[in-house]
Amino acid sequence: MQWWRGAVIYQIYPRSFQDSNGDGIGDLPGIIGRLEHVASLGVDGVWISPFFKSPMEDFGYDIEDYRQVDPVFGSLDDFDRLLARAHELGLRVIIDMVLSHTSRRHRWFQESRRSRENDRADWYVWADPKPDGTPPNNWLSMFGGPAWTWEPRREQYYFHNFLPCQPDLNLHNMAVQEALLDECRFWLERGVDGFRLDACNYLMHDPALRPNPPRPPGAPPTDGVKSSNPYNRQYHVHDKSQPETVDFLRRLRQLTDSFGEVVLLAEIADDNSLKVMEEYAGPRAPLHTAYSFALLGPELDTRIFPKAFEAFHNGSRHGWPAWAFSNHDVARVLTRWGGRDAPAAFAKVLIALLCALRGTVFIYQGEELGLPEADVPYEQIKDPYGLNFFPDFPGRDGCRTPMPWDDSDRHAGFSSVDGWLPVPNEHLLRSVGAQEADPASVLNFTRNFLAWRRRHPPLIVGDIGWIRAEPGLVSFVRMDAGRRIFCAFELAGSERDLALEGFVLGALDEGGTGRLEEGRAILPPYGFLFAEVHDAPQEPGQ
């Protein structure tokens, strides 16, 4: 079986995981020192957010050199040691590859910006101004303002989907594609087990630079974008998600296939993310799997669950999705879906639901502790996205604060000094050390649940059949090799009594906090239930 199918992958944001040298910033040696904690959870691998050489204007997603580790994180030797230690512990290693754009400090851009006549003049997206000097079209940056910045050396604008410090590469140029494939090959030769392709559907633009059409008033926002962002006033049909992207991804898949079981995972954010997920990672598509912001939204809408699976599994299709409830780009799920006072029981039912879904699962660091979103004061905000949109949107720092390891240390065991972001007191109370000794903690629940999940293959590789998705309730059946497991989750904080007509259920050991009665399942507040589905007894003469 392909290792990534049904795998649970733990996301590490290296800047905030563990500081080993006392500068207040996490690093690769720090990750090495904490890998045993990750392995103890029972996960199958780690995804490490960017650690490449970078000016850190977007904290690593602005790459200056794809082949160097930024000194703040360590060295290439440190990465090799991390990879070896992870493999010793049975953990696969997926790294972020940011192929849509670079830092403006990258040597490719420094050459491209010098003139219109040089070897890399066409490596980025350049365009002449309109006769009145304004940008060539109406494209907008996701981080606010126009997606075009003036370059006086060329007397042209360059395109950037994100910050002005992140110019977009021109992947319509085959030399750029070859260069990016070489950067990927460098890490494949070092032994990485996969790539998470950041902003994957942003890889290509419309070469004709046609303007985007306006979005009608009241239309839903682009996935992953705050509704107040002017980016949501357009349908983004020309600045991303171009058909040529799939051709490049096929070239990347051909490369990675030559290195064995290397997984390609796409991040998708679009006006119709589920459709793009199908094109990039559905049946016969070039990538192994993809995730969108469908389950990373600001509100818990249980009705989205069946819809999110349609692109991958509706009888005629049979692709493999990926799912996350939290990551480094959105508020932590406990607060986002449960509010400031969400109890530990809500954190547990979310872990159970996420890890019972059909697909590859991503757990963000601290999710195993049930961490809430941190309140970062304005004067300590570092995220440029948040600085641009404060106070409506405070940015992404609240989910990026340092990992709390030790409640007896004011630096949370993360560093010997104050971290690059503050550690809130409520995180100290939920530290790894504080939860280790509590059998009922979210941490020990996560470990026990993942160990239990391994004993039930339908929850890992089985198909899925939806039963109910109504406010506060999700239920479905996972099926594999003739075995069926009923799964139900109460997410509203109230007891739920489910009539189970047509089901004959048998209890599973440690199968949740709910209970079975004659023809019914009883779920306590934030409860869940797993039960074996049996065939109904046949009446005489049937």
Whether the Cβ atoms of residue 281 and residue 266 lie closer than 8 Å to each other: yes
Q: What is the domain partition of the chain in residue ranges?
A: 8-103+174-453, 464-534
* The two three-digit tokens of residue 213, written as one number: 């059409």
Contacts with 416 (C-beta within 8 Å, 6 or more apart), sequence order: 19, 22
Distance CA 273, CA 240 (A): 12
Give the orientation angle of helix 76-88 with respect to helix 174-190, to 10 degrees.
60
Distance CA 443, CA 434 (A): 10
Asked if residue 227 has pLDDT above 90, the reply is: no
Strand positions, DSSP E, 352-472:
360-364, 463-470
Looking at the domain that runs over 8-103+174-453, which CATH code has it been given? 3.20.20.80
Asked if residue 429 has pLDDT above 90, the reply is: yes
Q: Looking at the annotation, which residues are catalytic?
A: 198, 267
Local structure of 541: helix, strand or coil = coil
Confidence of residue 471 (pLDDT cuts 50, 70, 90): very high
Confidence of residue 312 (pLDDT cuts 50, 70, 90): confident
- Which fold is adopted by the domain 464-534? Immunoglobulin-like (2.60.40)
Alpha helices in 162-303 (DSSP H): 174-190, 244-257, 273-281
Q: Which residue's entry shows tokens 């959105």? A: 330
Centroid of chain to Cα 67: 23
Query: For strand 92-97 and strand 194-197, is the pairing parallel, antiparallel, or unpaired?
Result: parallel
pLDDT, position 285: 92
Query: For strand 528-534 and strand 504-512, is the pairing parallel, antiparallel, or unpaired?
Result: antiparallel
Asked if residue 39 has pLDDT above 50, the reply is: yes
Render pLDDT for 490-524 as a digit per residue (tens, 0 to 9).
999 999 999 888 788 898 888 899 999 888 999 99
Render pLDDT for 313-347 as a digit per residue (tens, 0 to 9).
655 556 799 999 999 999 999 999 999 999 999 99
Query: For strand 528-534 and strand 483-490, is the pairing parallel, antiparallel, or unpaired?
Result: antiparallel
Render pLDDT for 92-148 as a digit per residue (tens, 0 to 9).
999 999 999 999 999 999 999 999 999 999 999 999 999 999 999 999 999 999 999
* CA-closest candidate to residue 399, choices 301, 299, 346, 329: 329
Q: For 291, what's the count of Cα atoms within 13 Å in the CB-facing half-sphere? A: 24
8-103+174-453 and 464-534 in the same fold: no
Tell me the whole-structure pTM to 2 decimals: 0.96
